[in-house]
């Protein structure tokens, strides 16, 4: 891909870069130019680039110390960072020099970029948000560390076999990782289990076992190389890697058991938690990375400041969801047990330091742990949680809360099996609790945290998510970036909200045509990729209609598939009509134990097989399920999309960030009034987005009033025909009953309101067709989307966190 020339920030010239790469190739990779293979050049290139980054990294760290600045610590179970080469080059302003240096050796930068594996450090939107935030923190020159786990095999690599999802381990570290630095000097012993003893006034936890956490650092470069921050990921090893006596006595596996046990902590993201062993592993992972991070933060603070009491002046700890909630108890433990603070004083320090972001209202996704498990694994933390709870419940009682309210506020769930509520722990231990879009924040106040909010009414606040325009516009869509630059100058590169200058040109037909040409060439490139990888031929002049995101019932890929079937029926029944040619593109992973989500993937593939082979649709409809959706695929697909499907059941998507990336790349959104779609609509204007379906309030009312999906289905011919076709095996002749249960769920209960929203969705799709028939109108709407979504830059989001929560700007 041609790279967009960007203003230089200095650094090496192309010939200096060339000499540097060759030197690295010889001395660090151990190859000469003649023997070097592509992969050797790739490694040498990253190492050479990293050398430039290191200088900027040291300078940033030194500046933070000199300025005595406050640091932000972002704790997250996931960092879905994707590839780093293009990002680092572009942000360092070295792309052109690099291309020239490589071409001197007959190498193509774009080809080398393809050799980089996506870092398998995340799952979906929450992890991608953490990655965008890290980049924006560096861009805004805020000293920050991201803290997480260095997963050896990530979540999983998705393969599609006969239409079914198959999970394979991600092997992203197979060729090593040239970006990272292992910091053997930054390691901590993390304890589990054992007993708590009193030693006079002093409480001592004697863990039964220890695992060593060691830091592995990756530099994160901000735009224009202003600052380089650190993504610090923990890896695990046993204190005692080999029991030599046992090994020599012939117990070879037993002798290595501790090694395996420690490594299992950093093997995979979200190991299945359907068994007690799986649950225990998850809790161990969470404590492992949280405790290592908190100990690292406290160590750094005490080393430079001497006194733990000033922690809130120098550190802001942000918990990304509840996975690191145990930070509240661990920080309290260090302050009380190791630094001798009074409980009350420690509690004030804790709340001033910590803040928490909530990402979901789904009750099944709110983390709780069985109390016996928690107590066995973390006995001292359990005591601290009880101590916190008794304080909180006393406060609640004093404030006049009822028994019912007190039960909702408690850190311990008492109904049924007793469990520790991690969201409540994070809430009470933090001074700020934020939602990720305006609607989500309001619903948080009304639902999950209603009683906590009544008790602490100033804590909940909103920070609408954003995405970094460097990766999601400049790097993934250099063609569009160039057209925008030619139209409005380059200010938008430093401030995405300057994109609004495009709005005045929305009806400029020359600009519309240039943008349409870029879109078409992105579609051609995607079509070539799909032809090469899947063997499916796509017409780049068709409307590319895209739904890529984790597969989940609330995201309603099934609604889209049902509409696809209905459209297929319509095209066959009315071949005389002028149908708009469409390509329906799906992609996403289903959690390995999520039966219905996996069935939806199979259904998409079953529909694709049948529709794509049917000559009677004459190429008017194609369906593609792209395997192994990840950041790199998103970067290919989003710039080629015409229509962005954001069709979750209203009230269930906290924000979404895919919606923002698509709009920024000139796709129109078809969506419900859910998550950030509401604010996207407010920004782009009602005429430039296609909204359908029930509102969050209407969904809640329908659920409360005893909604009858059967009646709705019987009232819609198109819907009942599509459902019967799927349920009766039209798309699964090899196993006609395959989808009977999935579709039966819609008839019986339809929790996700697929039937309730179908007619409105189908009508909205036909209105999309009508818009497509007016290319000039479509282009104007696309320009208005690009122009008005600059506000959804993660720079804006991070600036708000920095001012309102962290107090660092
Ligand atoms: C942006 C992104 C997501 C989040 O998408 P939503 O549509 O907001 O769910 C998930 N995965 C990847 C790879 C992404 O880039």
Closest CA to 648 of 125, 104, 9, 55: 125
Q: What is the DSSP string of 488-528?
A: H-SGGGT-GGGGGGGGGGTT-HHHHHHHHHHHHHHHHHHHH
Residue 694 predicted with pLDDT over 70:
yes
Residue 630's pLDDT is: 98
Q: What is the pLDDT of residues 445-477, one digit of tens each?
A: 999 999 999 999 999 999 999 999 999 999 999
Question: What is the structure's pLDDT at 241?
Answer: 82
Q: Mean pLDDT across the stretch 256-266?
A: 92
Least reliable range by pLDDT among 160-174, 269-283, 315-329:
269-283
* Superfamily the domain 516-793 falls into: Glycogen Phosphorylase B; (3.40.50.2000)
How does residue 571 score in pLDDT terms, banded at 50, 70 and 90? very high
What's residue 219's pLDDT? Answer: 97
398 is catalytic: no
Q: Which secondary structure element, helix H or strand E, spans residue 1, and what is its range?
A: none
How many A from CA of 647 to the centre of ligand 1? 14
State the distance from the centre of ligand 1 to the C-alpha of 42, rounded, in angstroms: 27
For ligand 1, atom 14, name the residue with the nearest CA.
631
CA separation for the pair 475, 91 (Å, rounded): 10
The model's pLDDT over 70-82, given as tens digits with 9 standing for 90+, comes to: 999 999 999 999 9
Among 235-244, 282-291, 519-528, which is the least confidently predicted range? 235-244
Q: Where are the alpha helices (DSSP H) in 378-433?
A: 379-398, 403-409, 422-428
Task: Say how far residue 607 (Cα) sits from the centre of its chain.
Answer: 28
Confidence of residue 407 (pLDDT cuts 50, 70, 90): very high
Q: How confident is the model at residue 8 (pLDDT cuts 50, 70, 90)?
A: very low
Start-to-end CA distance of the chain, whole Å, equals 37
Could you say which DSSP state residue 321 is in?
S
Q: Which residues contact 384 (CB under 8 A, 6 or more apart)?
A: 329, 332, 333, 336
- Pairing type for strands 432-435 and 419-421 reads unpaired
pLDDT at 3 over 80: no
Residue 141 alpha carbon to ligand 1 centre in Å? 26
Which residues form ligand 1's pocket by a CB distance below 6 Å? 80, 124-125, 128, 549, 630-631, 634, 656-658, 661
The pLDDT, as a whole number, for residue 1 is 34
pLDDT of residue 7: 44
Ligand 1 center from residue 758 Cα (angstroms): 24
Architecture of domain 69-82+118-156+166-463: 3-Layer(aba) Sandwich (3.40)
Q: Please pick, among 227, 301, 470, 549, the residue that the annotation labels catalytic.
A: 549
Of 150, 232, 284, 550, the catalytic one is 550
Distance CA 116, CA 43 (A): 9
Judge contact between 626 and 633, C-beta under 8 A.
Answer: yes
- Among protein residues, the one with the nearest Cα to ligand 1's atom 5 is 658
- Structure token pair of residue 238: 């046993």
Segment 31-56 mean pLDDT: 95
**Which DSSP letter does residue 791 get?**
G
Instruction: Give 252's contacts (C-beta < 8 A, 6+ positions apart).
Output: none
Q: Over the stretch 523-556, which tens digit does the pLDDT of each residue have?
A: 999 999 999 999 999 999 999 999 999 999 999 9
Residue bearing the CA closest to ligand 1, atom 15: 631
Instruction: With residue 294 as reference, give the H or E element that holds it.
Output: helix 276-305
Residue 261: CB atoms within 10 A of its CB come to 14
Residue 6 pLDDT exceeds 80: no
CA angle, residues 124, 650, 706, in degrees to nearest 5: 130
pLDDT above 90 as % of the chain: 92
What confidence category does residue 65 fall into, taking pLDDT thresholds of 50, 70 and 90?
A: confident
Name residues whose C-beta falls within 8 Å of residue 628's C-beta, 6 or more positions apart in sequence: 157, 158, 159, 589
Asked whether 149 and 77 are in contact (CB, 8 A), the reply is yes
Residue 384's pLDDT band (cuts 50, 70, 90)? very high
**Rounded Cα gap, residues 321 and 430, in angstroms:** 12
Are the C-beta atoms of residues 455 and 477 closer than 8 Å to each other? no
Spatial neighbors of 128 by CB under 8 A, at least 6 apart, are 80, 122, 467, 631, 657
| Mean per-residue pLDDT, 476-505 | 98
Tokens representing residue 693 in the block? 């379906």
Q: Where in the chain is the domain with CATH 3.40.50.2000?
A: 69-82+118-156+166-463, 516-793
- The count of other CB atoms within 10 Å of the CB of residue 207 is 18
CA–CA separation, 637 and 526 (whole Å): 7
Nearest of 336, 338, 335, 326 to residue 293 by alpha carbon: 326
Given the residues 214, 657, 669, 780, select the one marked as catalytic.
657
Q: Which of the pair, 21 or 273, is modelled with greater confidence?
A: 21
Token pair 């796709």 in the structure block, residue: 667
How remote is the CA of residue 657 from the centroid of ligand 1, in Å? 6
How many other CB atoms are found less than 10 A from the CB of residue 539?
15
Backbone angles phi, psi at 757, to 5 degrees: -95, -5
Give the whole-angstrom CA distance, residue 129 versus residue 132: 5
Which ranges constitute the DSSP H helices of 67-178?
A: 85-92, 95-103, 109-115, 125-139
d(CA 350, CA 311): 9
pLDDT band at 641 (very low <50, low <70, confident <90, very high): very high
């Amino acid at each position: 891909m041609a790279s967009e020339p960007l203003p230089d920030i200095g650094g090496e010239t192309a010939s200096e870069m060339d000499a540097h790469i060759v030197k690295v190739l010889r001395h660090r990779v151990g190859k000469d130019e003649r023997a070097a293979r592509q992969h050797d050049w790739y490694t040498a290139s990253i190492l050479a680039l990293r050398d430039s980054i290191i200088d900027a990294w040291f300078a940033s760290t030194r500046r933070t110390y000199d300025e005595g600045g406050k640091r932000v610590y972002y704790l997250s179970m996931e960092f879905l960072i994707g590839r780093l080469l293009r990002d680092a080059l572009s942000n360092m302003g070295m792309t052109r020099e690099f291309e020239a240096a490589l071409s001197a050796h007959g190498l193509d930068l774009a080809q080398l970029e393809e050799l980089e594996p996506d870092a398998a450090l995340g799952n979906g939107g929450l992890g991608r948000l953490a990655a965008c935030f890290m980049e924006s923190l560096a861009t805004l020159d805020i000293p920050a560390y991201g803290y997480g786990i260095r997963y050896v095999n990530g979540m999983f690599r998705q393969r599609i076999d006969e239409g079914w999802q198959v999970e394979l381990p991600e092997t992203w570290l197979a060729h090593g990782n040239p970006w990272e630095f292992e910091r053997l000097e930054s390691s901590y012993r993390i304890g589990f289990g054992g007993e708590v003893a009193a030693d006079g006034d002093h409480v001592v936890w004697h863990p039964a076992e220890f695992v060593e956490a060691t830091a592995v650092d990756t530099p994160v470069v901000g735009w224009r190389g202003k600052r380089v921050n650190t993504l610090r990921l923990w890896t695990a090893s046993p204190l005692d890697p080999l029991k030599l006596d046992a090994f020599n006595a012939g117990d070879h596996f037993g002798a290595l058991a501790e090694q395996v046990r420690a490594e299992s902590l950093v093997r995979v993201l979200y190991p299945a938690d359907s068994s007690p062993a799986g649950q225990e592993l998850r809790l161990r992972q969470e404590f492992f990375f949280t405790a290592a991070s908190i100990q690292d933060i406290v160590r750094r603070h005490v080393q430079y400041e001497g006194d733990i009491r000033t922690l809130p002046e120098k550190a802001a700890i942000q918990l990304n969801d509840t996975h690191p909630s145990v930070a509240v108890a661990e920080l309290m433990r260090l302050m009380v047990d190791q630094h001798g603070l009074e409980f009350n004083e420690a509690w004030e320090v804790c709340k001033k330091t910590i803040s928490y972001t909530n990402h979901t209202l789904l009750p099944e996704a709110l983390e709780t742990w069985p109390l016996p498990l928690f107590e066995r694994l973390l006995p001292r933390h359990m005591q601290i949680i009880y101590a916190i709870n008794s304080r909180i419940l006393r406060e609640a009682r004093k404030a006049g809360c009822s028994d019912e309210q007190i039960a909702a506020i408690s850190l311990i769930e008492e109904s049924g099996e007793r469990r520790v509520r991690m969201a409540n722990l994070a809430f009470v231990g933090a001074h700020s609790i934020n939602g990720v879009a305006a609607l989500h924040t309001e619903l948080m106040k009304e639902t999950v945290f209603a009683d906590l909010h009544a008790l602490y009414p100033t804590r909940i606040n909103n920070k609408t998510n954003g995405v970094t325009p460097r990766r999601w516009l400049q790097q993934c869509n250099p063609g569009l970036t160039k057209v925008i630059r030619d139209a409005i100058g380059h200010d938008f590169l430093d401030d995405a909200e300057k994109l609004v200058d495009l709005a005045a040109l929305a009806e400029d037909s020359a600009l519309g045509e240039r943008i349409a040409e870029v879109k078409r060439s992105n579609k051609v490139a995607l079509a070539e990729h799909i032809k090469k990888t899947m063997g499916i031929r796509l017409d780049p002049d068709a409307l590319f209609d895209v739904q890529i995101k984790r597969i989940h019932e609330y995201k309603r890929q099934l609604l889209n598939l049902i509409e696809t079937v209905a459209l297929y029926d319509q095209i066959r029944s009315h071949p005389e009509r002028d149908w708009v040619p469409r390509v329906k593109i799906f992609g996403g992973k289903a959690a390995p134990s999520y039966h219905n989500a996996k069935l939806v993937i199979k259904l998409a593939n079953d529909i694709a097989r049948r529709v794509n082979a049917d000559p009677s649709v004459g190429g008017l409809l194609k369906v593609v399920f792209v395997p192994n959706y990840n950041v790199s695929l998103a970067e290919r697909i989003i710039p080629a999309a015409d229509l962005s499907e954001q069709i979750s059941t209203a009230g269930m998507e906290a924000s979404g960030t895919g919606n923002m990336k698509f709009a920024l790349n000139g796709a129109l959104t078809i969506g419900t009034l859910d998550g950030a779609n509401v604010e996207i609509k407010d920004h782009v204007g009602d005429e430039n987005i296609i909204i359908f379906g029930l509102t969050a309030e209407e969904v809640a009312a329908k659920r409360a009033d005893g909604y009858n999906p059967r009646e709705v289905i019987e009232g819609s011919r198109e819907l009942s025909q599509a459902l019967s076709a799927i349920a009766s095996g039209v798309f699964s002749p090899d196993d006609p009953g395959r989808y009977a249960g999935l579709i039966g769920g819609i008839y019986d209960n339809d929790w996700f309101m697929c039937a309730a929203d179908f007619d409105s969705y189908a009508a909205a799709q036909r209105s999309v067709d009508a818009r497509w028939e007016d290319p000039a109108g479509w282009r104007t709407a696309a320009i208005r989307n690009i122009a008005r979504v600059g506000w959804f830059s993660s720079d804006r989001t991070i600036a708000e966190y920095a001012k309102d929560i962290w107090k660092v700007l």
